[in-house]
Amino acid sequence: MPKIVDPVERRQAVADAVLRVAAREGLEHASLRNVADEAGLAIGSVRHYFAGSSELMIFAMKELARRIDARIHTHARALLDLANGGDRRARTEALLAEILPLDAERRQESALWLSFVTAARTRPELRPRATEMQSGLDELIRRVLDEADRSGGLVPGLDLTVETRRLAALLDGLTLQAVQHPDLVGPNELRAVLARHLDSLAARPSADH
């Protein structure tokens, strides 16, 4: 009896193969043939599920974004649910730290995402997803800052549009440096820089307290 193939699982397996090849050899080596070999499939099987390289790259990019989103939003839900109480500052720092490459898994995800974003500069089919991911990050940062401002946790009078861009740029820059120079920019330094930045935004306790 022929084996029944789940098309969702097969597409997922192929996307995983793209990410493994890209992580090991670079995105430019994630050709249909190399991906098929990595997945243990005939190239015809890959073409059955993906019309071409562009469709495959878009799907793999979406899968990578889904993984990153899932991890970050676990922390976001805890932070933004005011009913939970607790230390808002600690949860804010934990949420934003999830965006940084603080361990091997996140460093690989960051390196892969940077590869996709770089490729999107010359591959128009990848740009919508790259823009969507950046917009989602900006929206999350703005929401975190808005909530902190409403609770009195920020210096009064900050331009939150500017601060959103400044914090997004800080996270992008730290990520790029940590991916390119992991021996020079380690997890402790990443955490310290993030903490210092958050300190610069925090409201000072009143002299009356």
pLDDT of residue 1: 44
pLDDT of residue 209: 45
What is the C-alpha separation between 101 and 90, in angstroms, rounded?
A: 18
What is the C-alpha separation between 119 and 125, in angstroms, rounded?
A: 10
pLDDT in tens, the chain (209 residues): 445 667 888 889 999 999 999 999 999 999 999 999 999 999 998 998 888 889 999 999 999 998 888 888 777 776 666 544 457 788 888 889 989 999 999 999 999 999 999 999 999 999 999 999 999 999 999 998 998 898 888 999 999 999 999 999 999 999 999 999 999 999 999 999 999 999 999 987 655 54
Which residue ranges make up each domain of the chain? 1-50, 61-201
- What tokens were used for 154? 């920020």
- Domain range 61-201, CATH class: mainly alpha
pLDDT of residue 5: 65
What is the C-alpha separation between 20 and 38, in angstroms, rounded?
A: 8
How many residues would you count in the chain? 209
| pTM of the complete model | 0.86
Q: With respect to CATH, is domain 1-50 assigned 1.10.10.60?
A: yes
pLDDT of residue 80: 62
Contacts of 200 (CB under 8 A, 6+ apart): none
What is the C-alpha separation between 118 and 59, in angstroms, rounded?
A: 17
